Structure 1
Amino acid sequence: MITVEDLRKEYGGFVAVDGSTFSVDSGEVFGVVGPNGAGKTTTLKTLAGLVEPTSGTVSVAGRAADDPEMRRNLGFLPEESPLYEEMTANSYLEFFADLYDVPDDVAAERITEALDRLDLEHRERRIGDMSKGMKRKVAIARSLVNDPDVLIYDEPASGLDPLTTNYIIEFTEQLAEQGKTIVFSAHNLYHVESICDRVIVMNHGEIIARGTLDEIRREHGSTEYHVYTDVELDAAEPAGDERYESVVGDMDAVEALRSQAAALGGSVVDIQTRDPSLEDIFLDIAGETPEQASEGERDRTVEAET
């Protein structure tokens, strides 16, 4: 459905994306994560045909990304999505449906269905009088008026309260269940982890990790075993209720702790396995979470794009 080959984008002397290659299968939710300035937004805008590559090729739904016909099968939601604030939600969506040559009766049905599913009330209220969460729902509905097969969502829940954020994440899951192909970027790595089939991790314009979450964990993460004993062992920490916790990295070490406890007249009373989260892995391979990224690097990217 989406194929990217050796994508490179330069703004003057600044390299925003450097040699990215990846593909997205039909019906897949594909995550693009990284700190600010990593090249995520440039990548997504290139997929949407809004940024011309310096070199490399991009194909979306069988067409080049700069092919106007491709955009008829695409829904794009940028991180910042200015709306026509003098319009109501209904009139705004009807306007965009008309731009896509969607028949009036079909447009009315799609708009009503999308706003119902997004639980958006006050559809005749001026968009300028709406809350940020309501505006975001209108922008998401706009991405659906042409019933696209491919959706590109850049930070769909950016700046929203937790309740609205969870609602939008759940809605994105529903779209995936309907067979939409979704490329999804978010700073909240828990959301990416919860809905994405595969992920690429970007930093300084390059892809530094890729695959399913299990594949990324196997390659870049390590499982921890939290072993609880009823006697204190070397380097163990008190864990309450006369228990002591030791953290080791493999089963051989677990068995060694079991032997040490037995030698002291005690035993292992519990073992808990903990796999690294995507954020844990990100901290390890990129050195920072997306939220901790350098604002200076982000500003340089935004300035270059402008």
Structure 2
Amino acid sequence: MEPGIIEVNGLRKEYGDFVAVDNLSFSVAKGQIFGIVGPNGAGKTTTLKMLSSLVRPSSGNIYMKGLDISRDAVEIKSFLGFLPEESPLYEGMGVEDYLMFFSELYSIPKDRAKKRIRELLFDLSLNADGKKIGDLSKGMKRKVAIARSLINDPDILIYDEPASGLDPMTSRYITDYVRSLKQSGKTIIFSAHNLFQVESLCDRILILKSGKLVTLGTAEEIRKEYGKIQYRLEFKVDDVEEYVISEIKTVDDNYVVTTNDIDVVNQTTKWVASRGGDIVEMRTIVPSLEEIFLELMGVELFVD
């Protein structure tokens, strides 16, 4: 198998006696969106900071484009963009001045930097009208932080909760923008608590718990491995005293059976027909990534 643009092997981070990330290994192919999810304290942010060379691993290796981050961090930073969850900005500066300042840190020629800034402001619908960053809304500030992460036109992006705490419209905009970055050829690793967003956006998903890998794969692969498909059968019948096939509930004037066993569905439909009843609805309930995630985290789910 061809190695990924990012290769992580046996990654571990200790803070004293506390192990934040424990023997984590994964690969990310060029042009993929790779999601890392887990509850608070699972090790997501620590992992992203190690990938961004902000935190040194206790052990293990990280390679990007074949370069070892422990030896080649400066070269890697030239094609890497990082967006932390909390991203302080220089609030007394104007947006363009702020982005120009960061372009100078990357030694981008001034004319090229001006062109890049115009492109980013247009792509992000970021019209600051000469305002200082401190006068912008939270959503606009997040767009400025995203523009900053893209100023050097990096091939690899590492985003920690890019849409965290934003209103639904801005969150949707940023989600769509991240998708467009993939279409332009960029490779993206990001963490998020919004599992619907992760499921709709990511090519592959890594689930962490207590610093350890729980599972890794596409949403469909994870659903196939851990998801329990349920069947819900709603029907009308005059008398259910003789019904002994499965647990039955009353919903309004109807009866409902929910089961993981398709044989129970078949037996129940035959029984209803034999009693002169009617099938009101029969549907398959496919678990969402969020439901699978909660079950993997040990949270009990209740299904009506």
TM-score by length of structure 1 reads 0.90
Aligned pair 1:29/2:33, yes or no?
yes
What secondary structure is seen at the aligned counterpart in 1 of 2:85? coil
Say which of 72, 75, 98 aligns to 1:69. 75
Aligned pair 1:157/2:183, yes or no?
no
Aligned pair 1:44/2:48, yes or no?
yes
| Separation in 1, partners of 2:217, 2:11 | 18
Shift of 1:103: 2.0
> Could you tell me which residue of structure 1 aligns to residue 118 of structure 2?
112
| Separation in 2, partners of 1:173, 1:257 | 45
Shift of 1:130: 1.4
Q: How many residues align?
A: 288
> Could you tell me which residue of structure 2 aligns to residue 210 of structure 1?
216
Shift of 1:236: 3.4
Aligned pair 1:5/2:16, yes or no?
no
Structure 1 264/150 Cα, relative in aligned 2: closer, same or farther at 3 Å?
same
Letter in 1 for 2:40: N
Structure 2 matches for 1:200-279, cutoff 5 A? 200-231=206-237, 234=243, 235-240=247-252, 243-279=254-290
Shift of 1:239: 4.4
| Separation in 2, partners of 1:32, 1:64 | 21
Letter in 2 for 1:212: T
Aligned CA-pair RMSD: 1.6
Shift of 1:32: 0.2
Structure 1 104/123 Cα, relative in aligned 2: closer, same or farther at 3 Å?
farther
Larger radius of gyration: 2
Q: In percent, how many aligned pairs have the same letter?
A: 51
TM-score by length of structure 2 reads 0.90
| Separation in 1, partners of 2:230, 2:159 | 34
Misfit runs of 4+, over 3 Å:
232-240
| Separation in 2, partners of 1:144, 1:212 | 27
Letter in 2 for 1:230: K
Q: Unaligned 5+ residue runs, structure 2?
A: none
Residues 9-34 of structure 1: per-residue CA shift (max 9 Å, x gap)? 00111100000011111000100000
| Separation in 2, partners of 1:184, 1:70 | 18
| Separation in 1, partners of 2:176, 2:195 | 15
Shift of 1:238: 4.0
| Separation in 2, partners of 1:132, 1:90 | 17
Q: Unaligned 5+ residue runs, structure 1?
A: 290-306
> Could you tell me which residue of structure 1 aligns to residue 291 of structure 2?
280
Letter in 2 for 1:246: V
Aligned pair 1:198/2:204, yes or no?
yes
Shift of 1:94: 0.8
Letter in 2 for 1:236: I
Letter in 2 for 1:265: G
Residues 106-136 of structure 1: per-residue CA shift (max 9 Å, x gap)? 2222211211121112252111111111110
| Separation in 2, partners of 1:288, 1:56 | 31
Residues 205-261 of structure 1: per-residue CA shift (max 9 Å, x gap)? 101111111111111111111122232755433445x54332111322221111221
What secondary structure is seen at the aligned counterpart in 2 of 1:252? helix
What secondary structure is seen at the aligned counterpart in 2 of 1:143? helix
Structure 1 111/123 Cα, relative in aligned 2: closer, same or farther at 3 Å?
farther
Q: Is the 8 A contact 1:89 1:123 kept in 2?
A: no
Shift of 1:61: 2.4
Q: Is the 8 A contact 1:89 1:124 kept in 2?
A: yes
Aligned pair 1:188/2:194, yes or no?
yes
Q: Is the 8 A contact 1:27 1:180 kept in 2?
A: yes
| Separation in 2, partners of 1:165, 1:73 | 26
Worse overlay, 41-50 or 268-277: 268-277
